[in-house]
Amino acid sequence: MKKILILLSIVFLFGCKENQPTAPVEQAPEATTPAPSPPLSSDAISAIASESAAARVNWKNRGVAPIGYVKGMALAFAKEVCNPNPIVSAVAIGSSDKDVLKYYESQIKEIKAENLSSSMKTYVLLLGLGMRESSGEYCTGRDGSANNIQADTAEGGILQTSYDSRGADPSLAPFFKNYSGKCNLEIFKEGVSCGTSYLKNWGTGADGLAFQKKVKECPSFAVEYAAITTRKLRKHYGPINRMEVEFRKEAVELFTAVEMFVKKNPLICSEL
C-alpha cells in the first residue's frame, strides 16, 4: 500500500508540471538593414565655390570671374585631390625656366602659402591664369593679336593652350588623345556668352584642330592639361612669363575648403 501511495504521488507531481503554463519565449527583434546614404553630388563642390570669397574677387583688369569658371575650377581641383597627377603633385620638377612653382616662389611666399601642396599651389595659379588668358571664358579662341594660325600653334580654350605644348612631357599627347573624364561644359558655361568667332579652329593638321576643339568643348580637360604644362613648360603662357598672374589668398581659401570636403567625403570622387 505504501508503494502505491508513493507511485501516485510521483504521477501527480509530474502531471502538475506538465500542466503548468510555460513562459512565453521572447522573439529576437528582426534585423533591419540601414537605409543607404544618398550618393554625394558634385553640386556640393559647386556650392562651396559659389559661396567662396574667390567668387567675388575683382581680378586686376578682368573684373569678377564668371561663376561657372569658379565652380568648374573647384571641380577640377577636387578631381586632382582624388587622383593626384604625379607631375602636378610633385614637390619640385626643375628650375624656374620650366616649373611655374619655382618661377612664382617669391609670390607664393608673400601670402605664406609655401607649405601648401604642389597641387593646390598649381591650381591657385591656374585660377589666376585663366582670368588673364580668357577672363574665365571656356570657349575663347586664339589670340587675335598674335600670328599663331597653324593648327599646332593656335591657342584655344580657357587657358589658351596650343597643341605644340605636347613636347613638354611625353604624357601630354596620350593624355589628350585618351582623355575620358567629365568635361563639365554646362558648369563652365554659367555666366559666359560665346561669340561665333571663338568657335573657329585654325590650320589644317588633324591633331592640332582636334586639340583646339577639345580645349573649348571640354574645359575640364583644358584645365588638367594646363596643370601639367605649367609644371613642365611655364614659358608656354605669356601672362606667367610676365608675372601678371595673381596668386590670391581667396583662391587658397577656396581650394583648401574643397580639399577638406573631399578628404572628409571620399565617396564624392566617384562623381567627379
pLDDT score of 144: 81
Q: Which amino acid is at 54?
A: A
Classify residue 10: in a domain, yes or no: no
How many domains does the structure of the chain reveal? Answer: 1
pLDDT score of 126: 98
Distances (CA, A) of 6 to 9, 12, 13, 68, 149: 5, 10, 11, 98, 119
Residues 6+ apart with CB under 8 A from 32: none
| Tens digits of residue pLDDT in 23-82 | 454 555 555 555 445 557 899 999 999 999 999 999 999 999 999 999 999 999 999 999
Which grid cell sits at 218?
571640354
pLDDT score of 148: 85
Residue corresponding to grid cell 561644359:
185
Classify residue 33: in a domain, yes or no: no
pLDDT score of 32: 54
Q: Does an H or E element contain 229, and which?
A: helix 219-232
pLDDT score of 256: 98
| Tens digits of residue pLDDT in 72-125 | 999 999 999 999 999 999 998 889 999 999 999 999 999 999 999 999 999 999
Classify residue 136: in a domain, yes or no: yes
pLDDT score of 188: 98
Distances (CA, A) of 163 to 51, 53, 104, 222: 35, 34, 24, 11
Residue range(s) defining the domain that contains residue 264: 43-271
Local confidence band at 237 (pLDDT 50, 70, 90 cut-offs): very high
pTM summary value: 0.85
Alpha carbons 143 and 228: distance in angstroms, whole number: 21
Classify residue 35: in a domain, yes or no: no
Classify residue 34: in a domain, yes or no: no
Classify residue 37: in a domain, yes or no: no
Residue 53 DSSP SS3: helix
Residue 38's Cβ-count burial label (10 Å; 0-12, 13-18, 19+) is exposed
If you write DSSP's letter for every residue of 98-142 in order, what string do you get? T-HHHHTHHHHHHTT-TTS-HHHHHHHHHHHHHHHHHTT-TT---
Classify residue 3: in a domain, yes or no: no
> Nearest CA to 175 among 244, 221, 113?
221
Classify residue 20: in a domain, yes or no: no
Q: Rounded mean pLDDT of the chain?
A: 89
Percent above pLDDT 90 for the chain:
78
Q: In the predicted model, what is the mean pLDDT of residues 185-205?
A: 91
Residue 10 in this model has a pLDDT that exceeds 50: no
